[in-house]
């Protein structure tokens, strides 16, 4: 009997490209080159995920706006009635892009690690005006969301590491007032960002101290706070890499299955996971509040 792999109701993260327009030190997604799939292959993959009753598609990367064809994939995802989200550094978002695409996006997550431009720059994120630019992006997203009468759930993703662990991000976070802030503990991925391990690593205790220092004020303002330790980050996501392969990041290493572009869902999942693994991922996804009430 075929093993039963149910991913109904879950989120699948499409890391559609490893390319990015910037090069943050802590990134664990852009250092090893993996070629991008064609748009036609991603269309096939989206159809397979629809058949599997996946609820939400998250477009990530690298920087998803670098992938030519993202707009078409967002449009198709909307037509297939997925909930959609993107994770972006925001640099390539423009007024025109937002006007043309925002109606196909339910959740926008913008990455921001601090309100302090010099800390942000020392992480090699942007060139000294990243914070200012993020503020502008938030205004533009809100403008088009209102103009087109399309609600967008706004998120900020913050990587907590040795350079920002003593920082106080409350002023910028309260000013931007997103619906949710996700704090992630910096973690080392073998062969990707390990050369920055010494510069950026923090303990789980340091991470929790940072989160608990800022959580009460954020929650008091109605902002949902979620935090992910290294362990949670590796074990609670279903990820397809730029070749459409499920990617298991547990144990700080990338392991890849067969591409969903060329294989059935059960063959693709089964080349990497057992049905029990999938149930554990589902459980952890719920624990980290990864299933949104959308």
Question: Using the rule CB under 6 A, is 14 a contact of ligand SF4?
Answer: no
Site string for ligand SF4, 94-113 (x = CB under 6 A): -----------------x--
* Residue 91: exposure state from Cβ atoms within 10 A (0-12, 13-18, ≥19): buried
Residue 242 CA to residue 33 CA, distance in Å, equals 10
Q: Which of residues 71-90 bind ligand SF4 (CB under 6 A)?
A: 89
Question: Using the rule CB under 6 A, is 93 a contact of ligand SF4?
Answer: no
CB of 17 to ligand SF4, least distance (A): 9
Q: How distant, in Å, are the alpha carbons of 178, 218, 219 from that of 222?
A: 9, 7, 5
CB of 25 to ligand SF4, least distance (A): 9
Cβ within 8 Å of residue 96, ≥6 positions away: none
Judged by CB under 6 A, the number of residues near ligand SF4 is 13
Among residues 36, 63, 167, 230, the one that binds ligand SF4 under rule CB under 6 A: 63
Closest residue by Cα to residue 152 from 230, 99, 210, 209: 99
Closest residue to ligand SF4 using C-beta atoms: 27
Closer residue to ligand SF4 (CB): 20 or 269: 20
Among residues 16, 29, 45, 46, the one that binds ligand SF4 under rule CB under 6 A: 29
Question: Using the rule CB under 6 A, is 223 a contact of ligand SF4?
Answer: no
Among residues 22, 92, 170, 197, the one that binds ligand SF4 under rule CB under 6 A: 22
The token pair that represents 60 in the structure block: 């990530």
CB of 123 to ligand SF4, least distance (A): 9
Cβ within 8 Å of residue 217, ≥6 positions away: 170, 174
Give the interface segment with ligand SF4, choosing from 22-30, 33-41, 169-177, 280-288 (CB under 6 A).
22-30
Q: Are 179 and 155 in contact (CB under 8 A)?
A: yes
Closest residue by Cα to residue 130 from 176, 161, 96, 97: 176
Q: Are 284 and 249 in contact (CB under 8 A)?
A: no
CB of 109 to ligand SF4, least distance (A): 11
Pairing of strands 255-259, 245-248: antiparallel
SS3 237: coil
Q: How distant, in Å, are the alpha carbons of 112, 170, 202 from that of 209?
A: 19, 14, 11
Closer residue to ligand SF4 (CB): 23 or 79: 23
Site string for ligand SF4, 118-137 (x = CB under 6 A): -------x------------
Closer residue to ligand SF4 (CB): 63 or 140: 63
Give the interface segment with ligand SF4, choosing from 1-9, 55-63, 93-101, 234-242 (CB under 6 A).
55-63
Provide DSSP, 97-118. Answer: HHHHHGGG-SEEEEE---S-HH
Closer residue to ligand SF4 (CB): 45 or 86: 86
Residue numbers at the binding site for ligand SF4 (CB under 6 A): 20, 22-24, 27, 29-30, 61-63, 89, 111, 125
């Amino acid at each position: 009997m075929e093993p039963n792999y149910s991913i109904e109701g879950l989120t699948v993260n499409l890391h559609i490209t490893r390319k990015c327009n910037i090069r943050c030190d802590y990134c664990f997604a852009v250092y090893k080159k993996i070629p991008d799939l064609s748009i036609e292959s991603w269309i096939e993959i989206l159809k397979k995920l629809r058949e599997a009753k996946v609820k939400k598609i998250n477009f990530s990367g690298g920087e998803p706006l670098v992938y030519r064809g993202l707009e078409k994939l967002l449009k198709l995802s909307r037509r297939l009635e997925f909930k959609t989200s993107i994770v972006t550094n925001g640099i390539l978002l423009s007024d025109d892009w937002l006007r043309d695409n925002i109606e196909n996006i339910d959740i926008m997550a913008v990455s921001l690690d601090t309100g302090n431009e010099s800390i942000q720059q020392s992480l090699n994120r942007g060139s000294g005006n990243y914070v200012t630019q993020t503020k502008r992006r938030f205004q533009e997203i809100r403008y088009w969301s209102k103009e087109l009468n399309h609600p967008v759930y706004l998120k900020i993703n913050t990587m907590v590491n040795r350079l920002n662990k003593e920082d106080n991000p409350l002023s910028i976070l309260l000013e931007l007032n997103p619906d949710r802030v996700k704090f992630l503990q910096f973690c080392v991925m073998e062969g990707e960002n390990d050369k920055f391990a010494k510069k950026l690593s923090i303990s789980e205790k340091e991470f929790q101290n940072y989160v608990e220092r800022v959580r009460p004020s954020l929650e008091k303002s109605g902002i949902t706070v979620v935090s992910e330790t290294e362990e949670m980050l590796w074990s609670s996501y279903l990820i397809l890499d730029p070749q459409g392969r499920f990617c298991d990041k547990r144990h700080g290493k990338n392991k890849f299955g067969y591409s969903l572009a060329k294989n059935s869902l059960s063959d693709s999942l089964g080349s990497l996971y057992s049905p029990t693994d999938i149930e554990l991922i589902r459980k952890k996804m719920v624990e980290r509040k990864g299933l949104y009430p959308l």
